[in-house]
Amino acid sequence: MLTRERLMEVLPELAQVENPQWREACAAIWQEAADASGWEDILDAPNAPDLPGDSLVSHTRSVLKGAFALADIVEAGRGIPVDRDKLRVICLLHDVCKAVELEPGEQGPRKSRLGQNFPHGFFSGYYCMKYGLPEDITAAVVAHSQFVKNTPSSIEGVLQFYADLADADAGRWAHGLPLLIQYCKI
C-alpha cells in the first residue's frame, strides 16, 4: 500500500498544486491507482513496457517540467495566458492510468487485463471524474492519448500533449524504438 508520505516524497510536485481540492484529488488518485496496481513500489511502475527502466513517476515529472517551459515560451512569445495550476494537474494525472494498464510479468512489464480492455487514457479520465475534477481537466487528460481522436481544446492540454510526446519520444529515440510521433502523421 502506497502511503501518502511515500507518494509526496517521490512526486513532490503534488504538493505544489495550488487549488486545495485539486491537490487532494491528485494525491488520492495516485494512491488509488498505485494500490490497484501490481507494483510493490510506485517507483517500479514503468512508463512503457518496451522501455526498461523508464519510470512512470520520472516521465510524469519530466512532462510537467517540459510543459511549464513551453508555457513560459508561449506566454512570453505569443501573450497567451496559461493556467499553471490546471497545466500542473493535467500533467500530473495524464498517465496515472498506466499504473493499472501495465503489470509485472515474467519477462518484464506487460499489459494488464485492464490495459487490454480499455484504451490508454481511459482510467486517468475515470479517476478525474470520480474525484470531481473539472471537465476541461478531464477532457485534456483523456485527449492526451493517441487512441482518442479528440484534440485538446485548451492551451493547457496542447502544451501537455507536446511536452508528453517530446519526453516519450526522446526515450524511444535513445533506445532506437519507433517514435510515437507517427500517430500525429495520420
Interface pick for Fe ion out of 140, 164, 165, 171 (rule CB under 5 A): 164
Supply 178's cell numbers. Answer: 519507433
Residue 110, beta-bridge partner list: 103
Residues of this chain, 71-100, that bind Fe ion according to CB under 5 A? 95
| CA dihedral for 106, 111, 116, 122, sign (positive or negative) | positive
Site size toward Fe ion, by CB under 5 A: 2
Which one, 101 or 164, has the nearer CB to Fe ion? 164
State the burial class of residue 38 (Cβ atoms within 10 Å of its Cβ: 0-12, 13-18, 19+): middle
Which one, 2 or 56, has the nearer CB to Fe ion? 56
Please identify which residue in the block is written with the cell numbers 517500479. Answer: 44
Which one, 17 or 67, has the nearer CB to Fe ion? 67
54 binds Fe ion (CB under 5 A): no
In the complex, minimum distance from the CB of residue 76 to Fe ion, in angstroms, rounded to a whole number: 25
Measured distance CA(172)–CA(170) in Å, rounded: 6
Which one, 1 or 86, has the nearer CB to Fe ion? 86
Interface with Fe ion (CB under 5 A):
95, 164
